[in-house]
Amino acid sequence: MNNKEDIPFFVASLVSNAYPLNSWIPNTHLLFYKMFCSPKLTQEERTAGTDLLEGNIFDNQVSKIGYQSLLHSVLVNGKKKHFKKTLEHMQKYMDSSEINDEIVSKVIDVSSQHDFPILLGLTMKNFMEKGVKVSMENYVKFYMYLDRCKGFEKDTLRFIFAVNDTEHIQTDWEFLKPLFSRAVKYKKGKDILELFELIKSKLQLNKKNSQLPEEESKALLDKIKVNFYKGLIDLMLKNKAFVVADFVYKEYRNQVKSKNQNDTLGIKISGLKKDLDSFESYFNEMSTIQSEE
């Protein structure tokens, strides 16, 4: 193509009109995929070279819809070298603002379906460094896939803590709930408590929220911590993990630092645990608070 500025328009036109074109060109998406993945090089030259994009006929971005088409074709065909080529081309020619959530979602889908955790981790790291705004939904989908991969638990936590350096994702209970929901199904109580202690120590405001006035940022962080504790306690109780719930509740009381007559969590937990001594202690404490007010 004489003018490389025409490439994204050509590809977008080709892919968006794939259905009517299929009457003349069987499987237009596959045709574009083969055009993109077949360089202008001989097999010997391809084997000797290290640049994945050497000989690629598209020396400009191929539009958002073009990359979505390529990623869908990789999802179906599952060739890692073609996936790597698509990712490298996208990161070379696309601005961070052009990499939308649909593209990010496709990248995660390809990686999880064909089991490319390392490649996905490197890609997400590059996205974050380039300033791509990955939605919380996609980020959760990403870290949950890593958590399912054996041996990648530490990498999962590193990526979870990395959102503290973003401006659009906040580490809170909504963000962390899927991680603990999986943990309560597959981990022992002591492992869940270790995870809790680690997450608790790293709970902090993201870049944007940390720039709030001091009093406002402190109130927000306290609210995030309280919601985290209460959400985790509720999840543990629903799954009958009473020992974990009791431990987290004690941490919650230390965080709140003030006794509330409406706080019935202690009574609820000790009742479910059938711990009569704790039940009486929490009940008497609440009765005393009510009588003093």
Q: What type of residue is 167?
A: E
Helices and strands per DSSP (H, E), number in the chain: 16, 0
The model's pTM:
0.86
SS3 label, residue 204: coil
Q: Sign of dihedral through CA atoms 215, 218, 224, 230?
A: negative
Cα angle for residues 13, 90, 26 (degrees, 5° grid):
40
Which ranges of the chain have pLDDT less than 70? 1-2, 19, 21-23, 40-50, 257-263, 286-293
CB 60 within 8 A of CB 8: yes
Q: Which two tokens stand for residue 225?
A: 């911590």
Convert the pLDDT of each residue in 85-99 to its tens digit. 999 999 999 998 899
What residues does each domain of the chain span? 1-91, 117-257
**CB hemisphere CA count around 152 (13 angstroms):** 19
pLDDT of residue 48: 52
pLDDT of residue 273: 78
Q: What type of residue is 147?
A: D
Convert the pLDDT of each residue in 229-253 to its tens digit. 999 999 999 999 999 999 999 888 8
